[in-house]
Structure 1
Amino acid sequence: MRFPRLLLLLVWRDLARAVARPGEALLPPAFFLLVAIVFAFALGPDPALRTRVGLGVLWVGALLASLLPVATLFLADSADGTLDQYAVRGIATETVALARLVAQWLVLGLPLLAALPVAGALLAVPAELLLAAVPRLALGTLGLAAVATATAALMVGARGGGGLAAILAVPLALPVLIFATGGTTAADADRLLVAASLILAVLAPLAAGAALRLARA
C-alpha cells in the first residue's frame, strides 16, 4: 500500500475513534474555556489588565489542553496489541506516530478555534488581536500536537516515567508559546512560529517512532 493512502487510512481510523468518544474529544476545548474563566475571575474586573495578559493566558490554556490526552494517546494501542499488528504488517512506527499527530492536530485545533471567540471575550482580548491569533492558533496547535505525540510515545515505554515525560513536554512547547504571543519582533514572530511548529512536526514522529519500538522490545 502506498504511503499517502496508508497515512490517510490511519488518520481516518484515529479520527473515527475520536468521534466515537465525543467526551474525550470535547475535553480539551472545555478545559481551554475553563482556563479562560478561571483567569477572568482571578484577574478581576480591570479590562486593561485582562487585555494585557489575555493572549498569553489563551496560549497557556491551549498548551495545557494539548497535554490532556497524552496519558492515553498510545496506551490503548499498546495494551490491545494494535501496535504489534502494525509491526507484523510492516507499518513503521513513525508512520503510525505521524498519523496520530495529524489526527491529534485536527481533534485539538478545530475545537480550540471554535472556542477561541468565547475565551477571548472572557479575557477582553481585542478583536484585532483575536483575529490575528486564529491562524497562529491553527499553526501553533500543530507544534503542540507534535509535542503531545512524542511525549505520549515516551510514556508508553517509560512505564512509570510519565511524570518526567510530562515535565519534558512543557519546555519543548515553549518556543511555540513565545513566538505565538509575539515574544520577538512582530516581523519575525510568524516566521519563527512556522519554523518551530514545522520542526516539531518533523521531529516528533521520528522520536515517537523510536520510543514505540523501544516499548515493544
Structure 2
Amino acid sequence: MSITPLQLQGIGMTSQRTRDRLVARLKDKGIKNQDVLEVMANTPRHIFVDEALSHKAYEDTALPIGFNQTISQPYTVAKMTEIILEAGPVDNVLEIGTGCGYQTLVLSQLVKRVYSVERIAPLQKKARERMQLLRVNNVRFQHSDGNWGWPEEGPFDAILSCAAPESIPTDLLDQLNLGGRLLMPVGPDGKQMLHLLIKEEDGVTRKIIEPVNFVPMLSGTQK
C-alpha cells in the first residue's frame, strides 16, 4: 500500500482550495506564525481520518478516530504548535498521545526531532505506517503510558500533550530542558484549560492559555 500523489493533493472537499479556506479561518482566529500556517495548508489531514469522514477533514472540528479517541481540531493543533515555537527554534519535542499522527506530522515539519508516546497500540501502528508512507524520518515512537514521558530520550526543549490529566505529572516537568516548555490541557471533562509551564532556574512559571476539550489522560497501555 502507498499513498499516491493524488491522494495527498486531494480532490473536492479534500482539495488544496479547501485547505486554504481552513487556513483563512485559522488566521481569523488569531494564528499568526507563518511557518505554522504554511504547514497547516500543506498537511493532508484527510489521510488521518476514516475515508467516510474525509469530506469533513478540513472543517475546524475534532473527529473520531476509534478507541474513544479523536483527531484534534485544526485550530488547536495550530495554536499549540505556535506556542511551542514562540521561544525560537526547537530541537526536540516529546508528544504525549500520538493518536492518528496528525499533530505528530505537523510538528515533524517544524522541529528537528519528535518523540511520540501512545498508550493504544493499534493507533500507534497506524500512525507509524502513515509516517513511513509519507517518508517522515525524524519521528520516533514508543508504546507506553504518557504519564511517564520518555526519560531515556530527554531532556526535551518542549513537551506537548494531546490528552488531559487532572493534574500535571511531575515526571514530565523533570524531563524538560532549562527554558523548556510543557503545554498540556488540564482538568476534568468540560472544565479543561490549556496550561503552559516554562522551566526556569528558580522554578516553573505557569500561564493558562484558554479553555480546551481533550480526551482524558489514562494510565497504563492497551494492546
TM-score range, shorter chain: under 0.3
Structure with the higher strand share, 1 or 2:
2
Higher relative contact order (CA 8 A, sep 6+): 1
Structure with max Cα Rg: 1
TM-score, structure 2 length as denominator?
0.27
